[in-house]
Amino acid sequence: GVFAWIGHLVGRDRADKNPAVVGATAADTAAVSPTQQAGSSPTAGDAVTLFGVAFILWFFAFTWLQRWQLIPGLLMSQWFGFLGLVWLYARLQRRSLGDVLVFRPASPWAIAGAVMLGLSGWVILGVLADRVMPPPRHLIEEMRKLIRPANGDRPLIVTLFALAITPAICEEALFRGPILRGFRQRFSVPAACLLTGVLFGVMHGDIWRFIPTSLLGALLSWVALSSGSILPSMVIHVLNNGALIVLGYYGLDEAAERLSTRIEIAIFASALLLFAGGIACVRRGRRHQPESGEPGRHPHQGM
């Protein structure tokens, strides 16, 4: 299965904690910090192990919590499951949680780029999903009921906290924290982003959303590596989920289905322009971002 295949790729990781990356360019190798070279950062083996534990917990333990009480179960799954697992890993490694997450200030350019990507990415990914593998109608209706129950007794702020803010913190902590950083120790930037994105898609457990979710995960991974901070990926995640939730909560997604082709093309073109601007800002933010504590290191330009 997927675990065995990934495990084969990283099988020598524990025996050899050399920070050299398979197929890495000189710029890629420069992205490994002195701390990582000392062997104290997450490894690819750590990444696979953490994902495996999180996967088992999510589908064989926390799923029952969500069936019991959806929102409380979801919050417990995220905060105690995903974030709690990363906290436990940091404790076992005798490192601070912020260090494991690479929780540090990001440049204004990177944050601005993240806002642009968060406001445009969901449009592009939504169109892609509808064209490549459109979900069945009943799944769309179930998602709408998740966002806004039929009885309407859940305030929007509660839904935003549970389905946008919480995953933006907890899922990013796991996937753009030790999992991404572990894969980055062994693989090039594109490979690490792709692997992390695929696992991100697998964790969501929805075949109809697998491709767009994996692409989103790869994008979030690239932004986290390029900006040198997990904060921009959190911004993208919360805006992406938040936009979809607001649309669904007020029924605007149903109204969008009745838009003319001309308006749809205009919206998609605008999203593409905003997305391209976001990518440019993140790259510029990387070039202008000081590498604190790492004198003489040349900033990596990303993919």
pLDDT one-digit tens code per residue, 98-107: 999 999 999 9
* Residue 22: strand pairing partners: 187
Provide the 8-state DSSP code for 300: P
Helices 108-132 and 210-227 sit at what angle, rounded to 10 degrees?
A: 170
Residue 169: what pLDDT? 98
Alpha-carbon gap, residue 204 to 179, rounded angstroms: 16
Alpha-carbon gap, residue 113 to 285, rounded angstroms: 8
Convert the pLDDT of each residue in 275-296 to its tens digit: 999 999 999 988 544 443 333 3
What is the value of pTM for the model shown? 0.82
Residue 15: what pLDDT? 43
Taking CA atoms, 236 is separated from 35, 110, 230, in Å, by 27, 11, 10
Convert the pLDDT of each residue in 41-58 to its tens digit: 899 999 999 999 999 998
Mean pLDDT in residue range 153-166:
95
Q: Helices (DSSP H) in 156-260: which residue ranges?
A: 156-160, 166-174, 180-186, 189-203, 210-227, 231-249, 252-256
Provide the 8-state DSSP code for 104: -
Higher pLDDT, 62 or 188: 188
Output the average pLDDT for the chain. 84
